Amino acid sequence: MFRSLSNLNGGLFDEFRRLEREMDHLFGAGPWPNGIRSVARGTYPPINIGSTPEQVDVYLFAAGLNTESLDISIQKNLLTIDGERRVITEEGASYFRRERFDNAFHRVVTLPDDVDPEKVDANYRDGVLRITIQRRETAKPRQIEVN
């Protein structure tokens, strides 16, 4: 019985190891995150979106932005955010690891149909860009009295 299992060690287990390496190569090179706190490529800055009956709030987490580089627009319920972050690096320094995003970015968020593109406010504070879009008055819930 044990002799038959030892025969598997060479052929079958080597095949499993080869398959595992191929899967790592296939999925490791893709746009999927590698860790629990990682995000897929092209998803900078990270975004949180929340809503209430009165408004929709979009939070972009991007420390070190120059607000003059931001271009925020709404067209057909698509919120588009373009910007750039430049990280100051020391000339002639050797870096062993660089994880901070340094480049232009472009994010597009689909908004609900009832937002009012005329009532948008954007604030940048402590590395967080908050964009608040009010909902149309006709879309807000209202209390109806019964006579």
pTM over 0.85: no
Segments making up each domain of the chain, as ranges: 1-30, 47-139
Q: How far apart (Å, rounded) are the C-alpha atoms in residues 139 and 121?
A: 19
Of 102 and 59, the one with more pLDDT: 59
Q: Which two tokens stand for residue 22?
A: 């191929």
CATH class of 47-139: mainly beta
pLDDT band at 125 (very low <50, low <70, confident <90, very high): very high
Tell me the per-residue pLDDT of 50-89, one tens digit each, with 9 for 90 and over.
999 899 999 999 888 888 989 999 998 899 999 988 877 7
Nearest to 111 by CA among 126, 89, 144, 133: 133
pLDDT band at 133 (very low <50, low <70, confident <90, very high): very high
